[in-house]
Amino acid sequence: MKKRFLIAGNWKMNKTVAETRAFFKTLQPLLTPTVRSELLICPSLVSLAAAFEANASVGISLGAQNVYPKDSGAFTGEVSPLMLKEFVSYVLVGHSERRTLLHESDAFINEKLHALLATGLKPVLCVGETLAERKEGRVFDVIACELEAGLKGVTNEQLSQVTIAYEPIWAIGTGETATPETAEEMHAFMHDWLTKRFEISSVSKVRLLYGGSLKVDNAKQLLSQPHIDGGLIGGASLKADSFVEIARIADGIEKDI
Ligand code: 13P
């Protein structure tokens, strides 16, 4: 099966409900003619219902930025996969900001991933190294460890529901982007790693996204790389026009993904 590019926006802690509605209003006319790439927006939890309603006439994919790995119960402030399923099809897990600021462990991330799969939601597992880890020459070890721990216990069948985002921490929100060669090297490594552990028929369904200061100016070079199947975009996803422009750049790339 031929994959489509996945152009995903992670809004992080940005946009009120009113701003979310305004985004979808601006987005709608920009999607004519039709965009071929799959578009995904992950708003904040409080904006999910508004995004869901506003998206009824737009029809892109929606995702959440976080989840708690239980169906219900005494978990103050948390949101379950079942609750999210009413609004979204994708959920981010293991974003470096949550690993660092909220001290989320690999084991907890793996628990979330399994809870999502059990509920029929599609996890987007984020991995990435710090600048220090890269300088110390540990980048492949770090990514392999995050993949190993994040995907622990995942079956071949389940893997086909998973998306993986490589987001070098030093490139997130810094304006600094991995060069296309560096990004491709990491994506090829992740692809090889997956093929050693899973059946190729499942691996071929997994989209590998690049994230870290991906924007209109560098989208063509990055998305043209053989193992890059889309982007996880922070800053440039907040404006409908740059978000759609990146998707149109992806549409223009001749590549069998
Ligand atoms: P930026 O595109 O703002 O660097 O953010 C990337 C990111 O963290 C997406 O999850």
CATH number assigned to the domain comprising residue 140: 3.20.20.70
- Would you say residue 176 lies in a domain? no
* pLDDT recorded at residue 173: 86
Q: Check 38, 97, 104, 167 and give the catalytic one.
A: 167
Asked if the structure places residue 52 within a domain, the reply is no
For residue 48, with 0-12 CB atoms within 10 Å meaning exposed, 13-18 middle and 19 or more buried, which class applies? buried
Atom of ligand 1 nearest to the CA of 233: 2
Residue numbers of the domain that contains 207: 57-169+185-235+247-251
Segment 148-160 shows an average pLDDT of 98
Sorting pLDDT into bands at 50, 70 and 90, what band is 1?
A: very low
Ligand 1 touching residue 235 (CB < 6 A)? yes
Tell me the pairing of strands 6-10 and 38-42.
parallel
Please give the pLDDT value at position 177.
Answer: 85
**Ligand 1 within 6 A of 173 CB?**
yes
Section 15-42 average pLDDT: 98
For residues 109 and 97, give the distance between their C-alpha atoms in angstroms, rounded to a whole number. 13
Instruction: Evaluate the CA torsion angle 175, 17, 207, 71 in order and state its sign.
Output: positive
Assess if residue 210 is contained within a domain: yes
CA distances 95 to 77, 168, 201, 211, Å, are 19, 11, 27, 10
Query: What's the half-sphere exposure (Cβ side, CA atoms, 13 Å) at 36?
Result: 11
Other residues' Cβ atoms within 10 Å of the Cβ of residue 188: 15
Ligand 1 centroid – CA 87 distance (Å): 23
> Which of the pair, 111 or 175, is modelled with greater confidence?
111
Residue 1 lies in a domain: no
Whether 114 is a known active-site residue: answer no
Q: Is residue 109 part of a domain?
A: yes
Q: H or E stretch including 56?
A: none
Residue 87, domain member (yes or no): yes
62-74 tens-digit pLDDT: 999 999 999 999 9
pTM check: above 0.95: yes
DSSP secondary structure letter of residue 46: G
Say what the pLDDT of residue 2 is.
54
Phi-psi region of 155 (alpha: psi -120 to 50; beta: other; left: phi over 0): beta
Decide: 213 in ligand 1 pocket, CB within 6 A. Answer: yes
Quote the CA–CA distance of 129 and 171 in Å, as a whole number: 10
Other beta carbons less than 10 A from residue 221's beta carbon? 16
Question: Is 195 within the bounds of a domain?
Answer: yes
Asked whether residue 41 is domain-assigned, the answer is no
Q: What is the pLDDT of residue 256?
A: 72
**pLDDT surpasses 70 at 175:** yes
Give the C-alpha separation, 178 to 232, whole Å: 13
Count of domains in the chain?
Answer: 1
